[in-house]
A = this chain, B = another copy of it.
Amino acid sequence: MAGNTFGSIFKLTTFGESHGVAIGGVLDGCPSGITLDLEAVQKELNRRKPGQSAIVTQRKEPDTVEFYSGVFEGKTTGTPIGFAIHNTNQKSKDYSHIKDSYRPSHADYVYDQKYGFRDYRGGGRSSARETASRVVAGAIAKQFLSDIKINAFVSQVGTLKLDKPYQELDFAQIESNPVRCPDPALAVKMEDYIKEIRKEGDTIGGVITCVAQNVPIGLGEPVFDKLHAELGKAMLSINAVKGFEYGSGFEGVEMKGSAHNDQFKSDGTTKTNYSGGIQGGISNGMDIYFNVAFKPVATLIQPYETIDKEGNKVQTQGKGRHDPCVVPRAVPIVEAMTALVLADYTLLNRTIQRNG
Contact = CB atoms under 8 A, between A and B. Distances in A.
A308 to B, nearest CB: 10
Interface in A1-24: 1-6, 8-9, 11, 13-17, 20-24
A255 interface: yes
Contacts of A228: 236
A321 interface: no
Contacts of A266: 307, 311-313
A79 B124 contact: yes
Contact of A257 (B3, B33, B297): B297
Contacts of A223: 1, 3-4, 14, 125, 130, 237
A263 B306 contact: yes
A52 interface: no
This chain's copy number in the assembly: 4
Interface in A221-274: 221-226, 228-230, 232-234, 236-237, 239, 242-250, 252-258, 260-268, 270, 274
A229 B233 contact: yes
Interface string A299-317: 1101011110001110000
A228 B67 CA distance: 31
A69 B279 contact: no
A51 to B, nearest CB: 21
B32 A354 contact: yes
Nearest to A32: B115
A221 B29 CA distance: 10
B28 A264 contact: no
A130 B32 CA distance: 19
A121 to B, nearest CB: 8
Given A232-B244, A311-B268, A237 B257 contact: no
A13 B331 CA distance: 29
Contacts of A114: 78, 217-218, 282, 349, 352, 354
A128 to B, nearest CB: 10
Given A217-B113, A244-B243, A13 B28 contact: yes
B261 A298 contact: yes
A230 to B, nearest CB: 7
Contacts of A350: 350-351, 353
Contact of A244 (B25, B119, B245): B245
Interface stretch (A41-49, A54-62, A103-111): A103-111
Interface string A193-226: 0000100101111110000000001101111111
Kindly list the 3 A-B residue pairs having the minimum CB-CB distance in the complex, ordered from nearest.
Answer: A107-B280, A3-B225, A3-B221
13 contacts: A2-B28, A17-B69, A22-B82, A31-B355, A114-B354, A156-B253, A202-B258, A204-B256, A232-B233, A237-B281, A243-B250, A244-B244, A264-B307
